[in-house]
């Protein structure tokens, strides 16, 4: 039976600017190409889950504008339930400008817009008790995340926190989180322990456990991903591919992971491997949402 997942998060219209290299301070560079697409960490994660055949619901907000209508249509077209997305007439839909260099690396500037006007009171949490997992990130206010996670946990729903972009976490949010999934930079910022090797990854997981979060996955880019639960700890090497664009790789990982993960985390190794495979496909393609693979593509990928 497919997992039932909700993502509380951001919806942005992405503008990707292709450049040969990143500009130095004060420098003007020519842009080789411009592309527009639906995105936002929340949107990416939800579509990644849906394309891996999870029953996926989105909780969020767009502006009452053309960009917002585009985002709603994109989510519907990707089999994501949009009944819990609000429209805010006072602020525009969120947006992101992505600088993408010739090596596939990116720098991203985000305008929160309607994503940042979400409040605990504005959330539509109807039916949350029917979920297997609730996911959120930090492109929407933590106060809203706290309200949603608290209600979810009370109903026995598992909660997954992707602390990106990295911010100090509300102390009250920590014990409401079942699984935290940072990258190595975000993990180090939150724990104060630099991620360099397996021992340092274990130390980060122990630090999160002391904070009240029992399960950890740390993604380390082209190296792979570390996972730690009460029952199992390990490292899953990344698949070796020619990366063209790393945009949405982490979001693909989280959505794909949640689509496969069991509520008791007993299959965390297999789910991490599946998520790694999904991310390895994403980085070989350009764009955010267009690069996210389907379940069939993941299962049939070579390597």
Show binding-site residues. Answer: 12-14, 40-44, 139, 183, 219-224, 245, 247, 250-251, 282, 285, 287, 291
From 132, 199, 251, 264, active-site residue: 251
The yes-or-no answer on residue 251 being catalytic is: yes
The b-or-e profile of 228-258 (16+ CB within 10 A means b, else e) is bbeeebebbebbeeebbbbbbbbbbbbbbbb
Q: Binding site for substrate: which residues?
A: 12-14, 40-44, 139, 251
Q: Which residues participate in catalysis according to the annotation?
A: 251
């Amino acid at each position: 039976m497919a997992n039932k997942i909700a993502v509380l998060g951001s919806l942005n219209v992405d503008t990707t600017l292709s450049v040969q290299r990143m500009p130095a301070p004060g420098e003007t560079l020519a842009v080789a190409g411009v592309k527009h697409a639906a995105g936002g960490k929340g949107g990416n994660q939800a579509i990644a889950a849906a394309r891996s055949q999870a029953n996926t619901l989105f909780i969020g907000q767009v502006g009452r504008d053309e960009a917002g209508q585009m985002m709603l249509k994109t989510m519907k077209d990707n089999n994501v339930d949009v009944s819990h997305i609000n429209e805010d007439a006072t602020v525009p839909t969120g947006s992101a400008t992505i600088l993408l260099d010739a090596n596939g690396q990116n720098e991203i500037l985000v305008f929160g817009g309607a994503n940042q006007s979400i409040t605990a009171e504005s959330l539509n949490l109807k039916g949350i008790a029917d979920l297997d997992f609730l996911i959120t990130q930090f492109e929407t206010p933590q106060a809203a995340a706290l309200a949603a996670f608290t209600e979810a946990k009370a109903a026995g729903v598992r909660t997954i926190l992707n602390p990106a972009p990295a911010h100090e976490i509300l102390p009250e949010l920590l014990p409401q989180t079942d699984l935290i999934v940072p990258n190595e930079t975000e993990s180090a910022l939150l724990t104060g322990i630099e991620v360099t090797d397996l021992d340092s990854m274990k130390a980060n997981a122990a630090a999160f456990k002391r904070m009240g979060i029992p399960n950890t996955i740390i993604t380390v880019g082209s190296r792979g991903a570390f996972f730690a639960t009460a029952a199992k700890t390990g490292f899953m090497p990344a698949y070796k591919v020619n990366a063209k664009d790393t945009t949405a790789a982490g979001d693909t990982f989280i959505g794909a992971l949640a689509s496969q993960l069991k509520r008791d985390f007993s299959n965390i190794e297999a789910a991490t491997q599946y998520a790694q495979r999904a991310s390895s496909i994403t980085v070989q393609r350009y764009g955010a949402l267009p690069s996210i693979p389907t379940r069939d593509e993941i299962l049939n990928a070579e390597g």
